[in-house]
Structure 1
Amino acid sequence: MNFRQEVKRAHQSLNYQSLQNFYARIFSSHSELCSLISDDSLSTDCGIKLELLHAINDALRGMPSIIHKTVLKSIINSLLEDRPSLRSEDEAKALFALLQSPVFAVQRSYTIFAHVLRRAATLPPPERVLLPHYFRLLGGDRLRSVIRHIAQFVAIRQFPPSGKVLPPPSKSRWWIPAAARVLALINAANESCSPSLIHFSELYNMALDHVDLLKEYFLWQSTPNKFSYCQFPFMLSIAAKRYILTKDSEQQMILNARRSLAAKVSRRHPPQIDIFFLNIRVRRSHLVSDSLNEIASKQGELKKKLKVSFLGEPGLDMGGLTKEWFLLLVRQIFEPDYGMFVYHRHSRSYWFSTEEALELNEEEQFAMGNAGDEDLTQAPGLREYHLIGVLMGLAVYNSTILDLHFPAVCYRKLLSPPIPPPPGDESVLLGVVQQPTIEDLAEIMPDVAKGLSELLSYEGNVQEDMCMFFEVSLEEYGSVRTWPLRPNGDKVHVTNENREEFVALYLDWVLNASIYRQFRAFYLGFHSVCASNALILLRPEEVELLVCGSPTVDLAELRKVTEYDGFRPDDSIISNLWDVLESLNQDLQRKFLLFVTGSDRVPVGGTGEMTLKVTRSSGSIEDLPEAHTCFNQLVLPAYQSKSQLSKKLTIAISNAEGFGLE
């Protein structure tokens, strides 16, 4: 029958008998279902008639409940049937079709859905690997629908509603592990696509933010063979992972503080409150050198809570001085005069300088040399890289956002491997991207990456037309330097036959070999603070979010948490304020955020985690300070019109340098 015409006729006549018979027949047997949707001539679609399968499922959404019940009864029969006649791939095809069924969107179907999930999760390996291949055929919207059904299934089983709709947890402990394993197959399918079908955050299950995350983490650490959500980190939100990392760090901080206290007591020294903190004392005039010396002398205290003080200046660090220290130190180290990082204007990102590569001999230029841990505090060229790594680690553990502009590949390197080897073990290369791609290079040097792509696809004679050698030339600080990519590379022509080798060596040189010593120091600095198994849970993109925050400003969420002193939320001046802010472009909104918080990015938990206080201030318009002022003095009652407020506010935040609000 013509399926769509039959659906239309049934809706018009309200007679669904033929469709009920059709659904009962195809879902009562996996072999019947496979016979309907399979077509071995469709090699590009893995032999599945996707259009027909989608039509069957889409039509089912608008069917009466009697047909949904019929489908569920038929699926039960199909799960109970013997399948000796099924081909190996047919079982995977049938389960792929069932997992998309809209009948599993409701709670009353979960007992059956659980068995479908278990059957899919326990397929023999040769058949199970077909499922990610099939999932890749789905578009983003259909894949989201499958994920949504499974995520809701997990949430309701984890936090069952009142009533007796679901079996008791003691009889359904396998439900969530089965669902998690199917989600793992979907995640594998999504990760294997370039670009991915959906953003990785769409696999987050926000309901899991409310489970006992530390219990899950310690269960994962102590009993790896027992189910824990940490075995499936793609299900855990970045907020959940940050909570685990923070709590783990807090326990390490407490442990270090206790050790310091015990050492004080054993030496009969009077204990002081300072032993519970990492106290950094620096001079503004010697910011980098003082910070290097402080961190080098307090390596064993890096996991304590950070407190910063500027020598010769009064004041207690309630968070503001720490933010200022981070801000000023990062700004100074990234200055071109320091020669550590090169700014690439096309990608608007920084990358490590290859200055250290000049000091390598010819043999070292083709193999990544190691610098032992002890060299990091001695070699002038590496100390600052180690310091930046420490700063990033301290920022994560102290919930501070840094104004860093590294490409995404930097965070991949930072998790390669996620847990460093034991001290003294130099057999493992640290911070090395395996098989770097042109896409990785494009994050730093898009113009160079485009040139390499054109080289690979060039149809003419590469040697005669391009006259290239096995060399790499990079411009840094206004001068161009050239290095051979292999011994005597300046005499080896790039040809059509060896151009793939040339591109591979070029990528490895830029992203790994030429900066290995610098990045190793940077890597060890970060992990000297963030040495935690919780890092295994994180994706590189999530590490970047923890360090740098999100660039998206949600003013509606910020408005919900704003407090007022001397104003009411419905005052006209307050309404005008938010109207003006919402009318600004994203760049000015971020500058406003920088002006009132010291950072133009939003913490991992979103704007809802921030605090903003608008205070009525006395004074005249003439007394209004310029950009270096507290925001509360901008919101004077005299500014009753939007135009006045908009003009003054826009000028102020356009020139703001990041002075915070109390």
Structure 2
Amino acid sequence: MNCAAGNTPAELHAAINRRSPNKKAAAKKETPIMYEEDWQIRAAARMMSLLFTANDANVPRQPDGVLGALKTVHRFDSAVKHSGHRQGNMLPISSFYNTLLDYSDLVADFEIWESRSAKFSFCQYPFFLSIWAKIHIMEHDARRQMEGKAREAFFNSILNHRAVSQYLVLKVRRDCLVEDSLRGVSEVVGSGQEEIKKGLRIEFVGEEGIDAGGLRKEWFLLLVREVFDPHHGLFVYDDDSKYCYFNPNCFESSEQFFLVGVLLGLAIYNSTILDIDLPPFAFKKLLAAAPQNTGPQPVTSARINFKCTLDDLAEFRPALAKGFRALLEFDGDVAETFCYDFVAQVDRYGSIVEAPLCAGGEKRPVTNSNRREFVDLYVHYLLDTAVARQFEPFKRGFFTVCGGNALSLFRPEEIELLVRGSDEPLDVLSLKAVAIYDNWKTPKPESVPAVQWFWHFFETAAPQEQRKILSFITGSDRIPAMGATSLTIKLACLGDDCSRYPIARTCFNTLALYRYTTREKLQRLLWDAVVNSEGFGLK
């Protein structure tokens, strides 16, 4: 795109930031041309929207086993590169990102878009906004709603002469985590006052921890671990893909799936990463099921009409999808060779049950002429019809929390990255480059032996051990969507050498170390703390 002042990136950057690129022009106090009034930017945005729509429309996907990767054009988008989605695009969506917009007033642009004025805003064309820009806007939207609910609570406490918390406080017992969480969430949602929009605070019954973010992270971690446990029965796992999906034969009540939806929504709303194994198409299905938004809509709306395909099934159950493809490509007589009818064979706890895929399906043979219809109906049954009882409360729970305008700016793969974070290999050197130090009482704390030993231990540890160390410090073993450089670890000094363990303050991503005198002592005490600590205090 070109700005009215010229054609260089520097001039576009200056126009976006509403300042002149040279001092001489500024001295004359010339009024800069605002990008929302620039016809060239409007025209370029419309042209790019046509290209983006063409790029996004019905392009054949890559074959099974080949994972497309989103390319990156900005350091904040490095996590997108490793998201591992199979893309249906000729160009990765990050190719459309204009990262100069990361330095513009995104909040003002978002508010212009929300006001539905005739002014141009880049939120009308969200494909221009990088994952960093969208997360910035969503955090602003969430913070604005939280502050509004906090003000309401304050004035209600004055008018009603009773104490009203400005936070959503959930009190849970560790041994009854799911039950207490479900009861607390149900009570809040049942009040009908959007208390769920308040900032979340967790209290573990019988513990003295005060939640400044760390207990909330731990609550998410423990709840996800229990809810997504294969033995819990809410989800079924595929050994090949390592993904899970809704269990159509689950005996649990629909309220538990509602809780899972609320859990995902709260994680986004409170900027917390969840390590969940839902396949990528599940996020596309979720966004497609979003309630109609009465607010402003992007020109290239993120809302899509989702229809599950064989490619989606291949993400979750690749072996079954491979068998269906073999059926579609078979050269002989399908009816005589396979002897299939229009029924789905479903395993229900060890017994095979046949479910008709259409009226009279048990009497309708699969032939060469109708095998495509058979495969489509089979995929639709497995991914949609069979799990409707589980998906509906899950969807309702998610959109009970996430109903703001900012959500419509995201694409499904970006929502997945926002929820799950990035599982890219840890770049410890990047974490080290942005680390900060406290109380080491030296101009170069990175040269202190204990600090050097820690980074060496972190960098040379096995990948799984690195994840455990990261989880010990930050409360999550995954990198945020914006990349490793957006995760700032603080190393604090507790004092001179002693036999006490290091301390992690997950609320602030802080690891507090003593000035241990030997490398072996630091590694032993740190690793003991990592593998034995869970909860507020050491076991």
| Range of TM-score over shorter length | 0.7 to 0.9
Give distance in 2, aligned partners of 1:626 and 1:259.
37
Q: Unpaired runs of 5+ in structure 2?
A: 62-86, 295-302
Counterparts in 2 of 1:81-480, with a 5 A limit?
111=6, 154-159=12-17, 160-162=20-22, 168-169=32-33, 173-192=38-57, 193=59, 194=61, 195=87, 196-223=89-116, 225-266=118-159, 268-270=160-162, 272=163, 274-299=164-189, 300-355=194-249, 381-420=253-292, 434-475=306-347, 480=352
Higher radius of gyration, 1 or 2: 1
Native 8 Å contact 1:469 1:493 kept in 2 = yes
Give distance in 1, aligned partners of 2:416 and 2:132.
13
Residue identity in the other structure for 2:220 = F
Q: Which residue is equivalent to 2:456?
A: 579
Q: CA RMSD in A?
A: 3.7
Give distance in 1, aligned partners of 2:331 and 2:11.
53
Partner-residue secondary structure (3-state), 1:355: coil
Residue identity in the other structure for 2:56 = E
Give distance in 2, aligned partners of 1:466 and 1:648.
62
Partner-residue secondary structure (3-state), 2:367: coil
Native 8 Å contact 1:257 1:304 kept in 2 = yes
Query: Paired residue for 1:612, among 484, 490, 494?
Result: 490
Give distance in 2, aligned partners of 1:657 and 1:492.
59
Q: 1:589 to 1:177 in 2, by over 3 A?
A: farther
Native 8 Å contact 2:202 2:216 kept in 1 = yes
Counterparts in 2 of 1:57-76, with a 5 A limit?
none
Partner-residue secondary structure (3-state), 1:169: coil
**CA deviations over 1:44-77 (Å, ceiling 9, x no partner):** xxxxxxxxxxxxxxxxxxxxxxxxxxxxxxxxxx
CA apart distance, 1:396:
1.0
Residue identity in the other structure for 1:169 = I
Native 8 Å contact 2:503 2:513 kept in 1 = no
Give distance in 1, aligned partners of 2:350 and 2:231.
12
CA apart distance, 1:440:
0.8
CA apart distance, 1:278:
0.3
Q: Which residue is equivalent to 2:473?
A: 596
Give distance in 2, aligned partners of 1:396 and 1:524.
15
Query: Paired residue for 2:399, among 518, 527, 542?
Result: 527
Give distance in 1, aligned partners of 2:525 and 2:207.
32
CA apart distance, 1:554:
3.0
Partner-residue secondary structure (3-state), 2:324: helix
Give distance in 1, aligned partners of 2:234 and 2:382.
15
Give distance in 1, aligned partners of 2:34 and 2:105.
18
Query: Paired residue for 1:638, among 517, 520, 530?
Result: 517
Q: 1:581 to 1:311 in 2, by over 3 A?
A: closer
Give distance in 2, aligned partners of 1:173 and 1:297.
50
Give distance in 2, aligned partners of 1:230 and 1:432.
17
**CA deviations over 1:524-572 (Å, ceiling 9, x no partner):** 1011111112111001111112212122333233212232544820134
**CA deviations over 1:263-300 (Å, ceiling 9, x no partner):** 4444x323x3x521001011222211111111111123
1:563 aligns with 2:445: no
Native 8 Å contact 1:402 1:548 kept in 2 = yes
Q: Which has the higher contact order (CA 8 A, sep 6+)?
A: 2
Q: Which residue is equivalent to 2:76?
A: none
Give distance in 1, aligned partners of 2:119 and 2:512.
57
Q: Which residue is equivalent to 2:387?
A: 515
Q: Unpaired runs of 5+ in structure 1?
A: 1-98, 114-148, 359-379, 423-430
Native 8 Å contact 1:420 1:527 kept in 2 = no
Native 8 Å contact 1:208 1:236 kept in 2 = yes
TM-score by length of 1: 0.65
Give distance in 2, aligned partners of 1:307 and 1:152.
44
Q: 1:459 to 1:647 in 2, by over 3 A?
A: farther
Give distance in 2, aligned partners of 1:400 and 1:338.
23
Partner-residue secondary structure (3-state), 2:480: coil
Give distance in 2, aligned partners of 1:518 and 1:582.
42
